[in-house]
Amino acid sequence: MTLLQLIFLAAAALTLGAAVMVVTTSRLVHAALWLILALAGVAVLFALLDAPFLAIVQVVVYIGAIAILIIFAAMLTRRVMQDSGRQTTRTWWLGLLAALLLFGGLVVLVLQVPGFQAAGGAAPDPQANLIDLGRSLVDVNAFILPFELASVLLLAALIGAMFVARPESRKPPGGKSGTPGGEA
């Protein structure tokens, strides 16, 4: 058991354990914190896969932004006594069955392909990969179109989220005829 395999097993156990806690714990904010642990585990796995840029972007985007957003939403939409009620739907056993069946099917599928059993090749050079990644995102023959589409998508999501979640504008009480110097 080499050092790398040990690290992989530890990170995998951490990620899976945290993921299981996410979907089973009853307190919502705790679930969000377990999600952060799972995301950190995935970041460690990215680093093991010789993709350090993706690992750091995972921490910045998922943990530093999405997870904080989820925690905010969990805290802002709490009701008293909500955490002590039912957390799972009435047909949760169907969900469990579906998940287990899917997992079984995927395991059988993965173990059948012989090409997957091989160990990986030489480790790619991260610095060259970073430059390659940056270049390919703006190369006309490469991925500039998905890059631009992703930025349009992010802009649309930004505007949409701000529009959907803005507070309702309050109308002035009665028929006030003064100068509307109130809310912008």
Which residue number, 49 or 169, has a Cβ lying nearer to another protein?
49
Report the C-alpha gap between 104 and 61 in whole angstroms. 32
Nearest to 18 by CA among 31, 30, 34: 34
Considering only residues 133 through 162, tell me which ones interact with another protein, judged by CB under 8 A: 133, 136-137, 142-143, 146, 150-151, 153-154, 156-158, 160-162
Q: Which amino acid would we find at residue 167? A: P
Coil, helix or strand at residue 89: coil
Residue 14 makes contact with another protein by CB under 8 A: no
Burial call 156-166: b when 16+ CB within 10 Å, e when fewer: eeeeeeeeeee
Binding mask 99-118 for another protein (x = CB under 8 A): xx-xx--xx--xx---xxxx
Binder among 12, 37, 80, 170 for another protein (CB under 8 A): 12
Residue 86 engages another protein in binding (rule: CB under 8 A): yes
Contact 63, 33 (CB under 8 A): no
User: Under rule CB under 8 A, which residues in 16-45 are in contact with another protein?
Assistant: 16, 19-20, 22-23, 28-33, 35-36, 38-39, 42, 45
